[in-house]
A and B are shown apart, each in its own frame.
Chain A
């Protein structure tokens, strides 16, 4: 298929349908509403289900039902709606059901505003619901990736029997870029554990309750092992001009894009800067960061929150290298020039005398 100028939010839906998604349950919220609107347009035309639910609480529980019945299904929302979905995500992870949730982040807390932020990181990447579970999280940095990572999300969800979140910001959802979509696949056969209302599946049970502590512990350990496996297999990142980088910038989504421009500006001034852009946020690309820390002398994390991603970077580096932090919030996205100024200010002395101060 030819490249087509496509809005980020629409790319998610088109990729989902091409990947065999046949049910969408959602509740409108800016800046994610185009996803729900596009789903309303396309799903009925491909023999799928679209339903505007009464709330995000209902939508996520509809995903629970759709996934239990063995259907590839998804929903989409933004901060306030995602907060409401945390209960359902915990149940879905507990019951080991596959589904895809797109979170197009806006400003918070509370009603905040509808401009882009990256402040759902903690509630999504760390798991905002109860219990020992994780959601796998992919973070598109372009409209092409909105499509590609949605496709991947459905496969990951099935493979790990776990919810997968496509975590993007308002800008990545609203912007248009050319996209080359994958070819459509036939709807995958329902997994054998699905409850489909047939003689063959009559003994199937979907549940998240394990009353006996020993049984629940066994279940949690099984989930834990699954997440460890994902940590070994799934982590992904883009490294951009890091080969000789002394300073590595770290950012995802729209910030990954801004930071690319910062790399160019810095290099034009003779400063050896590279970018590490996490493509999966859970599992976090720990090994990539550690590898980069062998040559880089310092890291600079830039994100649209007061410090969520930066915690994971610090954990991953575990004191190996100093980590500086730059943030804008409230819906403000910094310009490359702004980050560049911070970089020069922060590393100025060391760039000149080739030494990095270790903070803390």
Chain B
């Protein structure tokens, strides 16, 4: 019947001599009767039978099978302890034509690598996982595994595994079977020749599923470790059959290969020349001629500050964007994170004729304060002679400076009257522009068009700009033109 010879014939997918191995190049490094040796042969046979040797990439784990690449004449990637499913994921995603096998022990897969296997399975990565469960840490000399049966002694459970201290054995197939994506999950054993014959079939199925592009396939192999268990190979097989199989029921848990849908093919990559457009780096229009240096020298340190939701960051961004369009050097630096969540927001904007040294604005010469706390916080730092616009009827009595040029207008209130309370920031911008002649209308509107995505808001902002300008025209503001230029 030849069931034993099946496992002893050398497959083509095995090297003839194990040259990557330092000594005894015709023998594996596995102990006599070790399950890994058997599983290797079954896997190699499957690879042979499916004719996929050239396409196969084996991801080996950390454990006794760390050296699987000594034996398999396929592409090999050796990975960190537990991480094989992550490595396999990336190999498969980038090389979808390859056949990727993640080969792992129980410490590797069910302890340190629990997150990686669960998530690879949950994403339905179309790979094949071979999980060799021998209920013990072989490589490191017999410590408890997540799959060690209750009551079993190991070097780290010297009194026997106890549910109260070590927990119960982890049933990986059952765990993965709670996920949507996997197409194939089966537990097999190496407890006798019949079980081995079946394991061969199942491993081949799991590989074939991948060849057909079906999805995530998982085979758990209850496997003997005679050395650590201190059994002879025959006793070890009996242990698999009679003890392990009692804890971990052998059988198929899921076979959705019939219903599995072919994964959609990836869209072909675009032409290289097309990439800048995809990245939004060219807008399709002819490139504008490079803007020359503007005639007027400028060195603005602008601080915009207010509550979150008042459009502080946008106001700063419009200034920077319009400044860039006008030919200035610019930078924009936002406050971010918890400060924003607590309700305040500010940004630093620089507009300069010369390259900008620091994008941080510590001594502003323009302060746009959209609320009182911001005014109180930043007004003391304003350069003498600097400009402050404040969103309010008047400056609070105890918060005013005689050595700066100040304007208070109820911008938010004006925005309410316009019917859009959030447009106060742009009304303030309109007032600043009208009072200072800082930037040309064309660049400011251009900046708004790029930054404000919705047409309704864009139109509102145009109205808001005009509203701000109008207010300043009504009530001329003592912002001498000469101040800004050349500071």
Contact = CB atoms under 8 A, between A and B. Distances in A.
Given A18-B275, A261-B357, A61 B80 contact: yes
B337 A197 contact: no
Given A14-B279, A197-B56, A257-B357, A61 B86 contact: yes
A359 interface: no
B282 interface: yes
Residue with the highest number of chain A CB atoms closer than 10 Å, among B53, B100, B276, B321: B276
Given A177-B331, A209-B66, A199 B54 contact: yes
Interface in A11-52: 14, 17-18, 22-23, 25, 30-31, 42, 45-49, 51
Contacts of A201: 75
Given A5-B332, A49-B94, A65 B75 contact: no
Nearest to B329: A178
A66 interface: yes
B116 A61 contact: yes
Contacts of B270: 45-47
B360 A197 contact: no
Contacts of A54: 115-116, 118-119
Given A199-B54, A261-B357, A62 B282 contact: no
Contacts of B287: 2
Given A31-B336, A61-B79, A64-B87, A333 B360 contact: yes
Interface in B98-128: 98-100, 115-116, 118-119, 123
Nearest to A45: B278
A71 B89 CA distance: 13
Given A54-B115, A91-B79, A335-B362, A66 B94 contact: yes
A65 B89 contact: yes
B320 A22 contact: no
Contact of B54 (A4, A48, A198, A209): A198
Interface in A81-100: 87-88, 91, 95
Contacts of A53: 86, 119
Contacts of A260: 357-358
A211 B22 contact: yes
A358 B196 CA distance: 77
Contact of B267 (A47, A57, A65, A195): A47
A73 interface: yes
B116 A23 contact: no
A61 B83 contact: yes
A65 B90 contact: yes
Contacts of B358: 257-258, 260-261, 336
A274 B78 CA distance: 49
B330 interface: yes
B246 interface: no
Contact of B88 (A65, A87, A113, A202): A65
Residue with the highest number of chain A CB atoms closer than 10 Å, among B278, B281, B288: B281
A103 to B, nearest CB: 17
Interface stretch (A179-187, A292-300, A346-354): A179-187
A23 B90 contact: yes
Contacts of A59: 86
A206 interface: yes
B302 to A, nearest CB: 14
Contact of A174 (B123, B266, B275, B336): B336
Interface in B16-40: 20, 22
A5 B321 contact: yes
Interface string A147-172: 00000000000000000000000110
A304 interface: no
Contact of B90 (A62, A178, A197): A62
Interface string A223-264: 000000000000000000000000000000010011011011
A195 B91 contact: yes
Interface string A191-203: 0000111110111
A171 B332 CA distance: 10
B459 interface: no
Interface in B307-332: 317, 320-321, 324, 329-332
Contacts of B359: 171, 175, 177, 254, 257
Given A42-B279, A62-B89, A73-B90, A197 B78 contact: no
B198 to A, nearest CB: 28
A204 B334 CA distance: 48
A211 B287 CA distance: 59
Contacts of A287: none
A197 B73 contact: no
Contacts of B83: 57-58, 61, 64, 88
A5 to B, nearest CB: 5
Interface in B321-353: 321, 324, 329-334, 336-338
A315 B123 CA distance: 48
Nearest to B76: A205
A65 B272 contact: no
B57 interface: yes
A1 B76 contact: no
A291 interface: no
Interface in B362-387: 362-363
B97 interface: yes
A14 B278 CA distance: 10
A55 interface: yes
A197 B89 contact: no
Contact of A57 (B76, B77, B115, B269): B115
Contact of B272 (A4, A184, A195, A264): A184
Interface string A324-349: 00000000010111100000000000
Given A61-B87, A176-B332, A204 B321 contact: no
Contacts of B276: 1, 18, 181, 183-184
A257 B87 CA distance: 39
Contacts of B80: 61, 64, 87-88, 91
B87 A68 contact: yes
A175 B278 contact: no
Given A208-B78, A209-B78, A174 B97 contact: no
Given A175-B333, A207-B78, A197 B321 contact: no
Contacts of A31: 336-337
Residue with the highest number of chain B CB atoms closer than 10 Å, among A42, A65, A71: A65
B77 to A, nearest CB: 5
B268 interface: yes
Contacts of B116: 54, 57-58, 61
22 contacts: A14-B281, A54-B115, A61-B87, A62-B86, A65-B88, A69-B57, A69-B94, A88-B83, A175-B333, A175-B334, A175-B359, A195-B75, A197-B75, A198-B75, A201-B75, A202-B74, A205-B20, A207-B76, A209-B78, A260-B357, A261-B360, A336-B358
Given A47-B269, A177-B331, 6 more contacts: A5-B330, A51-B89, A178-B329, A184-B275, A202-B54, A205-B69
3 tightest A-B CB contacts, nearest first: A197-B98, A47-B269, A65-B90
